[in-house]
Amino acid sequence: MSNIKYSSHARLRMIERGISEKEVSDAIAKGSKRKQDEKIVTAYRHLEVVFKKVKEDYYVITVILRW
């Protein structure tokens, strides 16, 4: 998978919620996706990842627990 970059907000949410980079990567690769304005929201297992795709990079904006 291409580079995944994280906003400082996303990093804080990952730490607060105990979400690993592997879980985020899996969500981007395997999750069901929907558009939200210019962003993409992917849902996979117990989390949602909001990100933008910029060229070959994925820029993670935030990470949300679904339960």
The secondary structure of 8-61 as a DSSP string is HHHHHHHHHHT--HHHHHHHHHHSEEEEETTEEEEEETTEEEEEEEETTEEEEE
Residue-range domain boundaries for the chain: 4-65
Reported as a single tens digit per residue, the pLDDT across 26-45 is 999 999 999 999 999 999 99
Q: Residues 11-23: what's their mean pLDDT?
A: 97
The predicted pLDDT at position 31 comes to 97
